[in-house]
Amino acid sequence: MYGIFYNPKIINFQISDFSQHTQETFKAFVDAIIPRSPKLAEKYGKIQYFGALDLHTDEYMILSLNSHYIPLAKPVAEVLDIVSEQLVILDRNSSMYPEGGTFAALIPSDRFRALMLLEQNKDYFIDLLTPSQYYPAYLFSVISNLNRFTMMGYYSEWSGYGSTRLNAPDQRKLEFFPLSWKQVGYPGPSLGYRSLRNP
């Protein structure tokens, strides 16, 4: 089933091709998952300060979600807003991302509450979308993995591609050692290891 939806050839785009709303929603999402950490920086050094926004993880998310036959970045952003509107009935927060929608307007802790609300009431929210609109069951299976996609984007070589990161994979070049690798002490991929053998 995955092969029906995924198309690795659909990757040539510019972030400016997407609405400000979609961009700001994904900025808000990745910032909630991996925020900047000034307290860690004080304790472990300046390198620990940086978060997902600094490494353009939001762009990775949009690129990944739109590498499908059915581009998913916009519908995912719309679903995040739908569930956030339900949460706003209980709480109101001032917007940190004025060009975004309801999800982006929530404070980070409430973004997590919105995701929990979505998980707990998935059937209700699936019913809000018509079957012809974005294949709701597939869309929701993708949404439940957004936190994993964020981690993959942040801890992969993505940020190291620098100015070439939005190019097709065969046109990307590693311009520098990814900052997230430095944060966790990852030395980078090895050309190979000797196999462990018992004498």
In a domain, 194, yes or no: no
Q: Hey, how many other C-beta atoms are within 10 angstroms of the C-beta on 2?
A: 7
**pLDDT score, position 100:** 63
**pLDDT score, position 194:** 63
In a domain, 192, yes or no: no
pLDDT in tens, 166-193: 888 889 999 999 999 999 999 988 776 6
In a domain, 148, yes or no: yes
Is residue 71 within 8 A of residue 10, CB to CB? The reply is yes
In a domain, 196, yes or no: no
In a domain, 189, yes or no: no
**pLDDT score, position 1:** 35
In a domain, 155, yes or no: yes
DSSP 3-state assignment of 68? strand
Average pLDDT, the chain: 82
Q: Give the chain's domain count.
A: 1
pTM for the complete prediction?
A: 0.81
pLDDT along the chain (199 residues), means of 10: 44 62 94 96 95 96 87 89 82 55 88 89 72 67 90 96 91 94 90 63
**pLDDT score, position 179:** 95
The residue segments making up the domain with residue 43 are 2-184
DSSP lists the bridge partners of residue 6 as 68
Residue with token string 């597939």: 138
Q: Hey, how many other C-beta atoms are within 10 angstroms of the C-beta on 172?
A: 17
